[in-house]
Amino acid sequence: MAKARILYIEDNLANRELVKRILEIEGYEVLEAEDGYAGYEAAVSLQPDLILMDINLPEIDGLTLTARLRQHQQLRDIPIIALTANVMKGDREKTLAAGCDGYIRKPVDVDELPIQVERFLKLSRERRGIEG
């Protein structure tokens, strides 16, 4: 079975390249968007299995974008995981309140990231009754 397709919405090229490299080594297909508007369009057209969302995006921030994605009928069940440097007290709760299913801190732990992504994908499959 092919690994999941992951959309990473992140404005920082170095962060996108690092995460893409880590996840592609594990067999995931990583799709990229460099801002919230491109991320929304990519999510709608590509229907990824999981979305990694930077919170500090220009123009439309990740919290607003997450809420907008949750309003789209075809995207409601796609897990959205905040991948963010926002680690102050209350930041995790804000991401969850906006509709994110989880929270991963930056800088990413290169060994832990694939494990965390697989855990979120497994929970999503279980919720939807999909084996794999």
CB atoms within 10 A of CB 15: 18
User: What are 55-63's contacts with CB under 8 Å, separation 24+?
Assistant: 55/82, 55/84, 55/86, 55/91, 55/95, 56/11, 56/84, 56/85, 56/86, 57/9, 57/10, 57/11, 58/11, 59/35, 60/35, 60/36, 61/36, 62/9, 62/36, 62/95, 62/98, 63/94, 63/95, 63/98
Q: What is the mean pLDDT of the chain?
A: 91
Q: Rounded CA gap, 64 and 13, in Å?
A: 21
Q: Rounded CA gap, 44 and 41, in Å?
A: 5
The pLDDT, as a whole number, for residue 130 is 66
- Which structure tokens are listed for 41? 């369009």
The per-residue pLDDT for range 11-33, each reduced to its tens digit, is 999 999 999 999 999 999 999 99
The pLDDT, as a whole number, for residue 127 is 75
The per-residue pLDDT for range 67-113, each reduced to its tens digit, is 999 999 999 889 999 998 877 788 888 999 999 999 899 999 999 99
pLDDT at residue 131 tops 90? no
Q: Set out the domains of the chain in order of their start, with CATH numbers.
A: 5-127 (3.40.50.2300)
The per-residue pLDDT for range 60-74, each reduced to its tens digit, is 999 999 999 999 999
Helices 13-25 & 113-128, crossing angle to 10 degrees? 70
